[in-house]
Amino acid sequence: MELRQLRYFVTVVDEGGFTRAAERLHLTQPGLSAQIRQLERELGQRLLDRGARAVTPTEVGTAVLAHARAALAAADRIAETVQEFTGLLRGHVRLGVISGAATEEFDVAGILADFHDDHPGVGISLTEDTAENMLAAVERDELDIALIGLSGAPTGPGLGVQVVLETPVVAAVALDTPVDPAESAGTIPLSALADRRLICLPRGTGLRGVFERSCAAAGFTPQVAFEAAAPPLLLRLAARGLGTALVPALTDAEAAAFGVRVLGVVDPVVRGRLALVWRADRPGSPAAKVLLGQLRIALGPGQQ
């Protein structure tokens, strides 16, 4: 029995069949099938039920699967430990970033370029998705690190969280929008947004989650008329009079450039938080640890 055979077995189970597993492993399907049959002969038990639609583990296969995963993880840790001691950092790091976070203020591209210059043997995957999806991916070990907006919901106990930016959420309206009686000195109470057509980031984003939780606490459900993934598009929609956009705080110059009037949301103030998240309850790969350290230093010192 060889480690590669265990890896083949685990991949077939994960992919639910030999065809997709062979593509993922860059093997021919007959070759992969032969390796699995050889493993079954060595163990004296059938590990897989080969159905017409899907391949599933037998009762014995299910029992073996947990040990196979553990053996592969242990082998990977051995290799990573040797690499750490020899100074040859290799491997692959999976980083998730919410749309719009990679700005001049958060020069993620520059951080990744410096990391690659120092460790050219490390591959990097970069993913953009909603905060909710990426948080779940970190919890499932499908991402090593994510830069996300926090929704205000509790994060899992095994996660490390470092807040790198906290900013008020503001309401942006077209310059020719009539002044609401509730507006006062450039602010508007959260409750005054209950009857407005709103323009928001999609569900699953941190800012949308924070806003909806604040509205629920105030006793109303927001009327979202338009959704878009990028704050600049929300502002353009608001500038054309399509509703009130809820976005992170803007400077006066930014508001003028987009042609909107900005109102601070008060009673209560709603705040968005951008944060790095990672699994803190288990050792990550050496490459992921190094990149996480560089991101934490470069993006900010705050920690939750």
pLDDT tens track for 225-277: 999 988 899 999 999 999 999 999 999 999 999 999 999 999 999 999 999 99
Residue type, 100: G
What average pLDDT does this structure show over 276-294? Answer: 88
| Rounded to 5°, angle at Cα 124 from 94 and 133 | 30
pLDDT at 85 over 80: no
The confidence score (pLDDT) of residue 87 equals 55
Complete domains list, the chain, with CATH: 3-86 (1.10.10.10), 91-164+273-299 (3.40.190.10), 167-272 (3.40.190.10)
The confidence score (pLDDT) of residue 302 equals 46
Cα separation, 188 vs 89, in Å, equals 52
- Report residue 159 as tokens: 């996660």
The confidence score (pLDDT) of residue 303 equals 41
The confidence score (pLDDT) of residue 86 equals 58
pLDDT at 151 over 70: yes
Nearest to 128 by CA among 158, 148, 109: 148
What average pLDDT does this structure show over 23-30? Answer: 87
Instruction: Check if the beta carbon of residue 167 is closer than 8 Å to that of residue 271.
Output: yes
Least confident interval from 73-82, 120-129, 146-155, 182-191: 73-82
The confidence score (pLDDT) of residue 301 equals 56
What average pLDDT does this structure show over 183-204? Answer: 93
**Residue 109, C-beta contacts closer than 8 angstroms, at least 6 positions apart:** 102
pLDDT at 103 over 70: no
Peptide bond into 268 cis (omega under 30): yes
Instruction: Check if the beta carbon of residue 208 is closer than 8 Å to that of residue 248.
Output: no
Instruction: Check if the beta carbon of residue 148 is closer than 8 Å to that of residue 106.
Output: no
How far is CA 250 from its chain centroid? Answer: 25
Of the pLDDT bands very low, low, confident and very high (cuts 50, 70, 90), residue 84 is low
pLDDT at 213 over 90: yes
Of the pLDDT bands very low, low, confident and very high (cuts 50, 70, 90), residue 100 is low
Residue-averaged pLDDT of the chain: 88
Cα separation, 57 vs 6, in Å, equals 13
